[in-house]
Structure 1
């Protein structure tokens, strides 16, 4: 059997592939149209102007849907482990799920409200996405540790911890340095006073975003181990 037909591993595989394409495709289009600089644009800069804004919005929304599905399947898998083996607290599992859902909501807000049109709402969505996304990674690392050796290997658990630490460390300069960036134009110049803050913030933003992508990559082996079934019950009226 082909690997992507085993269990539900196609879900995180699709999420990783589609999310990576979302970032790269919008960047390449914006670069081709000379809407952004070659080096260190914000991710949102690459989806600020049409037509890339339309493509970025659509692809980001699909990524959010794939993320929601993947996180819910992960939740059900951990729930099953908790029922059978009593290794994971159900409240911890639910907290991780809700944080994941909020991160996906933040993605939708970022995609819907471009930074050049309604920057305040866009910034709130971006902050929600990054904050709850990082917290989701941390809780999943805790869950993986508690569930070990069931589901994930020691190597996968360590990889998740490394990715979560990297995302956490990159999150703070992303937010802090962005507060010092005053220029609102998409094209930056090295002579601008806030240019070093822009570079630090943008680089860390890309690191956090691809940390999320790499984290979901570690789900593929886990998702090979199980499937979900939907049952329908029909009650006749008396």
Structure 2
């Protein structure tokens, strides 16, 4: 598989197009007020929810492949350089599973709307943003130890800065989100007005969510240059010889010749 650098670019473009496009569609149909709703609020009602779920599912597949390719890239560098292997070998494997957990959370958010299965939606949001933030801290740490073999110190600093930004705003969106829903006394949380309770907390929470989601997309985009210097070959396909299968070739014992 060549042109691996297109993976992070595709993830960046697809997720941002999904978020912004769904918001515009929801506003035009009057499903949300044109202020600052949560990303998932704009994807609560059909047809936006259907399009949102489909595009998010596609994006999660691309994101999962990107996380796997990054895992393999670090693994190969560690095999070639003992100093890298000592530091990142175990962390790389853990980061892979944390990243996949975040990817699963994004899928849950996209396919379990808040109005339908609220608890699953909230668990998905926690996995997506919580584990995603942990994954980005791990990758920022690894990036410093990959020097000078791949990447750059500037790129490592950028990843660290985004990880710090995601941590701050993840805490803000969690705290203000809980407070705003406690104080809310309106009729429809998808149409939150200043006259409803907890307006200031709602705005702070929704803006923070948009910042975290956008920062996530930009973080994935930073992998682009490092993906340009490698390609991934197709995995080999090996047939298992099972008796009765058309691929089964019985072993014929050749007679042992004797020399007299």
User: TM-score by structure 2 length?
Assistant: 0.86
Match of 2:70 among 67, 70, 74: 74
Q: 3-state DSSP class of the match of 2:113?
A: coil
Distance in 2 (CA, whole Å) between partners of 1:10 and 1:196 is 40
Match of 2:236 in 1: 231
The farther-off stretch of 181-190 and 163-172 is 181-190
Match of 1:212 in 2: 216
| CA displacement 1:87-127 (0-9 Å, x = unmatched) | 04221001111011001111111111100111111111111
Match of 2:7 among 8, 11, 15: 11
Distance in 2 (CA, whole Å) between partners of 1:98 and 1:43 is 25
The number of aligned residues is 234
Question: Does residue 84 of structure 1 match 2:80?
Answer: yes
Q: 3-state DSSP class of the match of 2:232?
A: coil
Q: Which structure has the larger Rg over C-alpha atoms?
A: 2
**Is the CA contact (8 Å cut-off) linking 2:102 and 2:132 kept in structure 1?**
yes
**Is the CA contact (8 Å cut-off) linking 1:7 and 1:225 kept in structure 2?**
no
**Structure 1 segments unaligned to the other structure (5+ residues):** none
Q: 3-state DSSP class of the match of 2:179?
A: coil
| CA displacement 1:200-227 (0-9 Å, x = unmatched) | 1111111110111000111000000101
Match of 2:202 in 1: 198
Q: 3-state DSSP class of the match of 2:128?
A: helix
Q: 3-state DSSP class of the match of 1:180?
A: helix
Matches within 5 A, 1:158-197: 158-182=157-181, 183=184, 185-197=189-201
Question: Does residue 22 of structure 1 match 2:8?
Answer: no
Distance in 2 (CA, whole Å) between partners of 1:149 and 1:47 is 44
**Is the CA contact (8 Å cut-off) linking 1:37 and 1:188 kept in structure 2?**
yes
User: TM-score by structure 1 length?
Assistant: 0.94
Match of 2:59 in 1: 63
**Structure 2 segments unaligned to the other structure (5+ residues):** 242-247, 251-260
| CA displacement 1:3-29 (0-9 Å, x = unmatched) | xx9641011111111111111111111
